[in-house]
Chains A and B, each alone.
Chain A
């Protein structure tokens, strides 16, 4: 096995659906041995689409396949005494336990942080939950939409006269998983220095309160002025900043500011106008009448150019700009191919399918290729037999009782 940064660490993954599995996927990508404990009926993510060829089948969920690469799957009914024993035995040989149950659930089963520390005094337990381990909302329900609305600056997202907009897909959950992985890696680092265990408390709600792209800015601005930010199409970001229709689609231009705006004017053949008002007065550029004047020639100019032309012109002139692509546009893009970004992963139910690659590359320790997501309970017998030394008879009995 390749020696990459987290090689040698074992993570016991008690999570399901979105944010927990994303956390353990990061740990697995960078070397950890992740044992995914699934209920006998499987991680509910297996019931969620998109499905391969639209067949609703537990081994064909694109969501599940994406989230669970590089992990082993073991089924265990955690609500039975035998199931809890299996978890305890695995916790002994694990460095990390990741869980996303309601606070108190594992404690009631005798599997809480304090219980696990007694079994394994150096354990790192990462709890990644909707609202964290404490506080009045800790047992509340939440989904990608409701938690994003509470945590992030959704109120500033969208048009003034319409309702606020969420973020695409399940990015809100996945980012919470990313933060949990980062916190876990740091907790393990600390344990190597101190030998001490740690309970890491990651809250979806607070992950997005702490999002530096917008939320922290708004919170500190409120603290400074007692004013909340409002929802605007283009919230004061200035001239030549937005997504514009072009000849063959849409193109995102970001050219506000003293450095980039003159470059944009040169790009569209208006370089000579820069010495005349209003273009020569930086304070006038964001006035509504200037924006209107600008749009009167910029919008038609954009419509005459293709995404490819615009992209090339932008890069030549040092203007920030990129096409609004779909996934289809990306797969043939020479850049990602040359970087070897895409990964073809074989799976018995789907054949070979392309997946997004690793989020970053460590030059000294390149990641080995990913292993496909496990079939439900694929490694149950192997782990029980070879690691926990259960006999065949014991395994059969567990099966008969519905524990595994």
Chain B
């Protein structure tokens, strides 16, 4: 197998929910040996699935839960079957250890001594309570890199606040910038980009720290505050306030100065196309594509400025056209006239999409408990280095033998003892719900 960029880099993965796993997913894809640390004594928040031993009855109360499992079936070990976990945990390993027992920390210590990076995204005090601080890590492995990604960073008045990415987005002003213009903030869309964004940047940060270590031989701690990271990608609305004292209004799907720019209904149930026209060339292309109906000659629509001023009536005209179109056919027609247009795609559209197919985006992966399924593939492509899914998401404790025996050199007797003591296993303890 060809060498991958991060071959030989070992990463201890203490991540949960979304932001942290999004980081280690990228590093694992690049060849790092990412070892997820889990426990059979508890299921971390959103670490695998919302609850370990979900039943069919419990799944019925939430359609999201049902879709999360292959064929809607929780199976014997539901925790190995979750869609979210199995999407982002490809190319990662999993060991189990109970850090609530004193020897748990000793086991971790041995692993730290052989690792390059530790990544975590818990509330700041969580790791401190477990005794896993940067100072502790540094004593064991002086050049270790520790990446921490709590909501508001590791120092400052809110350092110990608990949050999800979603709640942090309200705090930094992102949530108030999306939604319907005719509805209030209690109806914001339930989609939050902060976690996936922070995960991407944490992978960048880890790489930056590796450069520093290569140049100087020194490790370090990285403080990635989720809130500050997402603020950094607001830009224009932020500067509108600091330059002009203006609070940017939520524009819905509209553009601040051009029209048409929106989401229009097409034929079929809940089918939509997005059309954006920001200059005269695109407008002319649009009019030509739809056959130059007489309303397009109206002087209300003659310039970018007048189209923007008259966008309500313009949108009605456009809808009357889109309603008769198939969303994919309309995309092809408009694109052939140079107009940025794209349907709102759902997952079914994506798996049938010829472009993704041509690029080999989805990869078929065989998971020993759930068989072969297609998974979203690499985040990006390298021309000279073939990147791919090398192994499916790890089952709980799947790599215990490798980690305990090969890496940490525990004997068979010690391994059995750890099994009896509740560190090692592939099933959650009976008391875990």
User: Which 10 interchain pairs have the tightest Cβ spacing?
Assistant: A62-B239, A364-B220, A222-B347, A236-B64, A168-B177, A146-B342, A190-B5, A199-B383, A50-B240, A216-B87
CB-CB under 8 A from B172, the residues of chain A are 325, 330
CB-CB under 8 A from A253, the residues of chain B are 167
Query: 23 pairs across A/B with beta carbons < 8 Å?
Result: A4-B212, A50-B248, A62-B239, A146-B275, A157-B189, A158-B189, A178-B201, A179-B380, A197-B384, A210-B378, A212-B22, A212-B25, A212-B199, A213-B18, A220-B83, A223-B374, A224-B373, A225-B67, A318-B162, A323-B170, A363-B220, A364-B218, A364-B219
Contact in complex: A220, B84 (CB < 8 Å): yes
With most chain A CB atoms within 10 A of its CB, the pick from B6, B183, B383 is B383
Interface of A, secondary structure class, is mixed
CB-CB under 8 A from A230, the residues of chain B are 63, 270
Contact in complex: B342, A149 (CB < 8 Å): yes
Check: A245 CB closer than 8 A to any chain B CB.
yes
Partner of A149, one of B62, B274, B282: B274
Contact in complex: A192, B214 (CB < 8 Å): yes
| Bound CA–CA A177/B175 (angstroms) | 21
CB-CB under 8 A from B68, the residues of chain A are 217, 221, 224
Contact in complex: A50, B246 (CB < 8 Å): yes
Contact in complex: A113, B383 (CB < 8 Å): yes
Question: Min CB distance, A163 to chain B, in Å?
Answer: 4
| Bound CA–CA A77/B383 (angstroms) | 28
Contact in complex: B361, A175 (CB < 8 Å): no
With most chain B CB atoms within 10 A of its CB, the pick from A132, A170, A329, A336 is A336
CB-CB under 8 A from B57, the residues of chain A are 283
CB-CB under 8 A from A53, the residues of chain B are 243-244
Taking residues whose C-beta sits less than 8 angstroms from the other chain, chain A's interface range is: 35 or more
Partner of A136, one of B200, B210, B355: B355
CB-CB under 8 A from A190, the residues of chain B are 5, 382, 385
Interface of B, secondary structure class, is mixed
Contact stretch, chosen from A93-101, A181-189, A379-387, A394-402? A181-189
Contact in complex: B163, A149 (CB < 8 Å): no
Question: Min CB distance, A361 to chain B, in Å?
Answer: 5
| Bound CA–CA A187/B342 (angstroms) | 31
Contact stretch, chosen from B225-233, B290-298, B305-313, B418-426? B225-233
Contact A355 B167, CB 8 Å, known A149-B274, A245-B186, A364-B212: no
In the complex formed, the residue of A with least CB distance to B224 is A360
Contact stretch, chosen from A35-43, A63-71, A84-92, A267-275? A63-71
| Bound CA–CA A377/B311 (angstroms) | 37
| Bound CA–CA A190/B204 (angstroms) | 14
Contact in complex: A178, B233 (CB < 8 Å): yes
Contact in complex: A243, B185 (CB < 8 Å): yes
Check: A392 CB closer than 8 A to any chain B CB.
no
Contact in complex: A169, B232 (CB < 8 Å): no
Contact in complex: A175, B347 (CB < 8 Å): no
Check: A356 CB closer than 8 A to any chain B CB.
yes
Check: A203 CB closer than 8 A to any chain B CB.
yes
Contact stretch, chosen from B97-105, B190-198, B403-411? B190-198
Contact in complex: A224, B222 (CB < 8 Å): no
Contact in complex: B237, A178 (CB < 8 Å): no
CB-CB under 8 A from B270, the residues of chain A are 155, 230-231
Contact in complex: A242, B376 (CB < 8 Å): no
Contact in complex: A325, B204 (CB < 8 Å): no
Partner of A211, one of B152, B196, B236: B196
Check: A391 CB closer than 8 A to any chain B CB.
no
| Bound CA–CA A150/B340 (angstroms) | 12
Check: A205 CB closer than 8 A to any chain B CB.
yes
